[in-house]
């Protein structure tokens, strides 16, 4: 879209249809949501001390979570025909041909200090002084990013004041229509033209922080500009990973000559992010090595053999006032004739993402069982499932339901993934001797009521966990097994006696994560022959899936993916409720038959296995056969 002067679009803005009505037309909100927002707007208008922006319908809907800032800015962009730049950063400025070198930034922000812009929440990124050959007037042309069209008057007044305050000795280049340049005092500028593009508020503030850091480094050492470019690329990758809620970032050169390949895992799917891709001609292997050194130095990894050793480190990174813990792992991989190219993997830990047990995808009967058994004052609850299947999230959702204010709760993890108020959280540090086994051996001296152990990985840790559970304490942990029915056998294989298992085990949960259908673009789905055979699907059930399309346009809710987040599939064995279960535990098959054969008065299974749980959720339209087929393997189906 064409960038316009404020004077060109403000008349259109003033006559624009109401934002709430446009959002209803676009099916971003319902009529009821709009009426609620209008009611809040009327209440806010009666409070003269309130920020005027809190009386705007769009802002109210964003604060309520009914829409996103992206939804609102898209409406303004379409109605006013103004550009909207998503994911604004210094890199997007560079991609649009805007100068962001040290000289250009000093010129722009010497006139308009960044500290002032932080409070104003808009960002000028380019200016020039031009002479109109027809009338001889000198005009100052300013190009800005703003998150709110209502700020137009504030922006104009600010730049008018800057012109008045400008020092007469400050000289800039005038660009005439004939491209002749001459020096001119700002005080002689007679016209002001301000051009606006839209960008999200947090993106603007983050870009201001990037600029501040760039200018600070330039003041310290002009030669450090190249180093800063490398650091900035790394931080842009981290920012984008956090913004897209990615769990992991994979970094590798494109080939033996260099280049850069960045892949992000979001909702379990690993995909390359083309915006960070670099060819070897622009990013030679030396640049990749420098880039890796920046990452490892940030993670406090100081080894002189960075490219030939498997290394681990950690860093804390702040975005928009939120601090994220990150785990950095480097491993040498083969690439062409080069034997030791370091591949970097970054795990992002979202500590604020703890959930309620009612909102992780469990069926009502499963929630009832969980709440009934976690209140027991002693015994062991075990969760099993593949890596990144949500086991820790489920355990924390259970811990959140407990009365931690009146019970001593300890978590022993590597790493600590979530913050849990009123709990003492212990991070395993094997280099310091803080191993699972050592901490567990001393745990009873800490007078615990509830203990969460991140993983039972060997005989010693399993023995300690069972001992704590057998001595009047509630213990939760995870263990590797293909299904809940195989957990008792897995414990026996780890050297735990059957008597210890039968006397301590209260509950076993096996789980997987599956993409959850987007409700906005949901349509009927006819499973393929492969999916029907693999999943054993019935022909008389109507299946659904998210198409990613609404009214021939990309779905705004899921951004064309067809799914929003993931939902859990669960297999629950409430062993504490059935003392006779031990007589059926000699084989996983017998144990599975015992629990899955139980039904309620309506003939519904009380304890469905993973596949049965998945079929229930497919019938409800929560998940699609296609998503389910991508999670389960044929081998798991046979098991």
Q: What is the pLDDT of residue 606?
A: 94
**Which pLDDT does position 180 carry in this prediction?**
43
- Helix 225-243 to helix 285-298 angle, to the nearest 10 degrees? 70
Which pLDDT score is estimated for 217? 53
Q: Residue 124 to residues 110, 150, 246: CA-CA distances in angstroms? A: 12, 16, 30
pLDDT score recorded for residue 167: 41
Measured distance CA(342)–CA(303) in Å, rounded: 13
**Residues 458, 460, 462, 463, CA torsion sign:** positive
Output Rg (C-alpha) for the chain, integer angstroms.
30
Predicted local distance difference test score (pLDDT) of residue 332: 86
**Contact (Cβ atoms closer than 8 angstroms) between residue 251 and residue 346:** yes
* Span 247-274, pLDDT tens digits: 999 999 888 788 899 999 998 889 999 8
| Per-residue pLDDT, 435 | 85
* CA neighbours closer than 13 Å in the CB half-sphere of residue 460: 7
pLDDT of residue 314: 82
- Taking a C-beta distance cutoff of 8 angstroms, is the pair 82, 198 a contact? yes
Residues 524-553 pLDDT 10s: 999 999 899 889 998 889 999 999 998 888
The answer to whether 570 touches 509, Cβ cutoff 8 Å, is: yes
Residues 606 and 95: their CA atoms lie apart, in Å, by 57
DSSP designation for 84: B
Instruction: Name the stretches of the chain with pLDDT < 50.
Output: 167-189, 218-223, 305, 634-639
Number of alpha carbons in the 13 Å side-chain half-sphere of residue 152: 19
Q: Which residues pair with 128 in a beta bridge?
A: 141
């Amino acid at each position: 879209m064409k960038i316009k002067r404020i004077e060109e679009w403000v008349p259109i803005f003033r006559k624009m249809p109401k934002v709430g009505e446009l959002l209803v037309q676009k099916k971003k909100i319902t009529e009821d949501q709009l009426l609620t927002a209008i009611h809040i707007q009327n209440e806010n208008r009666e409070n003269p001390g309130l920020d005027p922006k809190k009386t705007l319908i769009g802002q109210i809907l964003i604060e309520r979570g009914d829409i996103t800032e992206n939804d609102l800015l898209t409406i303004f962009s379409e109605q006013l025909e103004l550009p909207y730049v998503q994911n604004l950063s210094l890199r997007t400025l560079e991609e649009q041909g805007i100068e962001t070198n040290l000289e250009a930034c000093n010129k722009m922000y010497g006139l308009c200090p960044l500290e002032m812009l932080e409070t104003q929440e808009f960002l000028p990124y380019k200016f020039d002084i031009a002479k109109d050959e027809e009338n001889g007037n000198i005009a100052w042309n300013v190009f800005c990013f703003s998150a709110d069209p209502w700020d137009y008057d504030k922006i104009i007044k600010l730049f008018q004041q800057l012109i008045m305050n400008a020092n007469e000795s400050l000289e800039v280049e005038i660009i005439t229509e004939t491209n002749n340049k001459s020096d001119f005092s700002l005080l002689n500028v007679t016209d002001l033209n301000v051009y606006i593009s839209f960008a999200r508020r947090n993106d603007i503030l983050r870009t201001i922080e990037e600029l501040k850091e760039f200018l600070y480094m330039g003041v310290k050492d002009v030669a450090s500009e190249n180093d800063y470019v490398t650091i900035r690329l790394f931080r842009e990758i981290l920012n984008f990973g956090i913004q897209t809620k990615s769990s992991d970032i994979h970094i590798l050169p494109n080939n033996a000559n260099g280049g850069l390949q960045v892949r992000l895992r979001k909702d379990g799917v690993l995909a390359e992010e083309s915006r960070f891709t670099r060819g070897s001609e622009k990013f030679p292997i030396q640049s990749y090595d420098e880039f890796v050194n920046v990452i490892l130095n940030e993670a406090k990894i100081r080894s002189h053999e960075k490219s030939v050793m498997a290394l681990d480190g950690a860093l804390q990174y702040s975005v928009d006032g939120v601090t994220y813990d990150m785990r950095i792992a480097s491993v040498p991989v083969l690439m062409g004739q080069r034997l030791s190219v370091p591949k970097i993997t970054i795990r992002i830990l979202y500590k604020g993402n703890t959930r309620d047990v009612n909102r992780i995808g469990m069926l009502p009967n499963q929630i009832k069982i969980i709440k009934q058994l976690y209140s027991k004052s002693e015994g062991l609850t075990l969760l099993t499932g593949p890596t990144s299947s949500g086991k820790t999230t489920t355990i924390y959702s259970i811990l959140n339901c407990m009365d931690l204010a009146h019970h001593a709760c300890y978590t022993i993890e590597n790493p600590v993934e979530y913050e849990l108020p009123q709990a003492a959280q212990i991070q395993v540090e094997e280099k310091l001797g803080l191993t699972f086994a050592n901490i567990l051996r001393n745990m009873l001296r800490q007078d615990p009521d509830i203990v969460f152990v991140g993983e039972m990985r060997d005989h010693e840790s399993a023995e300690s966990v069972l001992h704590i559970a057998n001595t009047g304490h509630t213990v939760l942990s995870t263990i590797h097994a293909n299904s809940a029915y195989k957990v008792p056998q897995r414990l026996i294989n780890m050297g735990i006696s059957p008597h210890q298992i039968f006397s301590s085990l209260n509950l076993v949960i096996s789980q997987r994560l599956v993409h959850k259908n987007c409700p906005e673009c949901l349509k009927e789905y006819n499973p393929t022959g492969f999916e029907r055979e693999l999943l054993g699907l019935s022909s008389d059930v109507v299946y659904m899936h998210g198409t990613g399309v609404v009214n021939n346009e990309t779905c705004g809710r899921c951004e064309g993916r067809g799914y929003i987040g993931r939902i859990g599939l669960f297999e629950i064995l409430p062993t504490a409720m059935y003392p006779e279960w031990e007589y059926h535990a000699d084989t996983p098959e017998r144990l599975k038959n015992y629990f899955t054969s139980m039904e309620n008065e309506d003939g519904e299974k009380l304890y469905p296995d993973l596949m049965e749980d998945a079929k229930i959720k497919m019938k409800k339209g929560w998940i699609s056969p296609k998503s389910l087929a991508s999670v389960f393997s044929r081998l798991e189906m046979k098991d």
